[in-house]
Amino acid sequence: MKIIVTGGAGFIGSNFVYYELAKHPEDEIICLDALTYAGNLETLADAEKNPQFTFVKGDIANRQAVYRLFERVKPDGVVNFAAESHVDRSIENPEIFLQTNVIGTSVLLDACRKYGIQRYHQVSTDEVYGDLPLDRPDLFFTEDTPLHTSSPYSVSKASADLLVQAYHRTYKLPVTISRCSNNYGPYHFPEKLIPLMIINALSDKKLPVYGDGKNVRDWLYVEDHCAAIDLIIRKGREGEVYNIGGHNERANIDVVKTILHELGKPESLIEHATDRKGHDRRYAIDPTKIHNELGWLPQTKFEDGIKKTVKWYLEHQDWWKHIISGAYQEYYHDMYSKKNVLEYAK
């Protein structure tokens, strides 16, 4: 197969590139990525040594550039990871989320119609289902849970999902959609909860926990997500949505304490920050469908995955120090001064 992987210079996309190159060495992977603040070519340095891999810099919302690429490459499949992905940024500036996540998806779908593909896969999120109450641990998101979005980010992802389903119904485009819970692991951009807390703790900076810290996320090790997508694009049924998650629910405050414990740092580093606007309370995925249909099960337990992740950040300090040395400082200062985190400028 010849697969265009969009957003492959980001967190999950790059992990997927490495997963595919190792699992299907006969496949060709073409990564299309605009290299926004979240994209990083250093992440793909090893992939670039592989003759089966090609990197193309480009914006998925640029119709001409996307059509040119499809015409040249004639892909069998497209896996769309490219997105603006940070909820806090979407609250500050929604427009780019609509541009990339909705318009970008529509351009990719049109290119797939025009040039023909065997499979278009949309990488979506459990956030399209909204949130669940903390006092109903019996409730989970299934594929039939109505879309009920909270943030501009989740609106843009749900809109893209609806467009993908419309292209299936209207044009019979062979599509699949996966909706995954929160990922963690190598190459996770430092603005997100787990890497941010590891990096701050390593520098003895304050760990800004939003609100009461009781919000619950359902954490999945990134390699398990990649394995699920690999199964869906090869064996999943056209037109179907598959939820991906591993029943690893944790309150944010407990995740942060686990990280401090792993690093031997004191809990006094925790600082409660102003809560995120519209903060979703709990996400929890029911992965029964992907398990029953495709035999997928997560391989990494949270206790092991978090240890591996902390170790990865300890061993790859150059990777994240390059990122946080530039525009990231300005982002951190702006975002966390608004959240009343006193130590942000340290």
x/- map, 235-254, ligand TYD, by CB under 6 A: -----------------x--
Among 127, 131, 249, 280, the active-site one is 127
Q: Tell me the Ramachandran region of residue 150: left when phi exceeds 0, alpha when psi lies from -120 to 50, beta otherwise.
A: alpha
Residues 14 and 27: their CA atoms lie apart, in Å, by: 16
Among 88, 126, 230, 249, the active-site one is 126
Provide the token pair at 332: 């951190």
> ∠ at Cα 89 (85, 91), nearest 5°?
115
Minimal distance, residue 158 CB to ligand TYD, in Å: 14
Which among ligand TYD, ligand NAD, none contacts residue 34 (Cβ within 5 to 8 A by kind)? ligand NAD
Q: For tokens 């240890």, what's the residue?
A: 307
Chain centroid to Cα 309, Å, comes to 16
Q: Are 335 and 88 in contact (CB under 8 A)?
A: yes
Q: Which of residues 42-101 bind ligand NAD (CB under 6 A)?
A: 59-61, 81-85, 100
Number of residues that bind ligand TYD (CB under 6 A): 12
Q: Are 242 and 143 in contact (CB under 8 A)?
A: yes
Of 17, 34, 177, 260, the one binding ligand NAD by CB under 6 A: 34
Q: Which of residues 140-169 bind ligand NAD (CB under 6 A)?
A: 157
Q: Tell me the Ramachandran region of residue 35: left when phi exceeds 0, alpha when psi lies from -120 to 50, beta otherwise.
A: left
Q: Which of residues 75-114 bind ligand TYD (CB under 6 A)?
A: 87
Q: Which of residues 186-205 bind ligand TYD (CB under 6 A)?
A: 192-193, 196
Sequence-distant (≥ 6) Cβ neighbours of residue 138 within 8 angstroms: none
37 binds ligand TYD (CB under 6 A): no
3-state helix, strand, coil in the chain (%, to 5): 50, 15, 35
Of 4, 7, 145, 150, the one binding ligand NAD by CB under 6 A: 7
Determine whether 126 is an active site residue. yes
Minimal distance, residue 123 CB to ligand NAD, in Å: 4
Of 40, 150, 182, 248, the one binding ligand TYD by CB under 6 A: 182
Q: Which of residues 253-312 bind ligand NAD (CB under 6 A)?
A: none
Burial 124-161 (b: 16+ CB within 10 A, else e): bbbbbbbbbeeeeeeebbebebeeebbbbbbbbbbbbb
Determine whether 210 is an active site residue. no
Q: Are 278 and 210 in contact (CB under 8 A)?
A: no
Interface positions with ligand TYD (CB under 6 A):
87, 182, 192-193, 196, 208-210, 215, 217, 252, 276
Interface positions with ligand NAD (CB under 6 A):
6-7, 9-13, 33-36, 38-39, 59-61, 81-85, 100, 104, 123, 125, 157, 180, 182-183, 189
Catalytic residues: 126-127, 153
